Amino acid sequence: MIEIKDDWCKGCKVCIERCPVGALEESDRLNKKGIRPPKLKEKNECNFCRLCELICPDLAITVIPDREVKKDVKKILLSPTGGK
């Protein structure tokens, strides 16, 4: 999973150009600055290498590897309070 803070993006496209598997593309929506931030392509090829997170000059991207998401879901399922 990739979290993109759309409004932090300045549209430099470094993440799109440098992703080693071409997993990102410009989205259709505009952010507060009138810029189209990146999004994952419909066919998700992301391998969680984190390059986009590291090179984004505006720290707009956070990469959350799937296993971390699964661990969180497991924690919630195992918790008697449902993770609250």
Residue 6 per-residue DSSP state: G
**Sequence-distant (≥ 6) Cβ neighbours of residue 49 within 8 angstroms:** 20, 63
Min. distance of Cβ 42 from ligand SF4 in angstroms?
13
Rounded-to-10 torsion of CA 30, 31, 34, 40? -50
Q: 9 or 81, CB closer to ligand SF4?
A: 9
Min. distance of Cβ 76 from ligand SF4 in angstroms?
24
Q: 57 or 79, CB closer to ligand SF4?
A: 57
Q: 20 or 84, CB closer to ligand SF4?
A: 20
CB 26 within 8 A of CB 12: no
Min. distance of Cβ 78 from ligand SF4 in angstroms?
28
List contacts with ligand SF4 (CB under 6 A): 2, 9-15, 19-21, 23-24, 37-38, 46-52, 56-58, 60-61, 63
**Sequence-distant (≥ 6) Cβ neighbours of residue 1 within 8 angstroms:** 63, 64, 66, 69
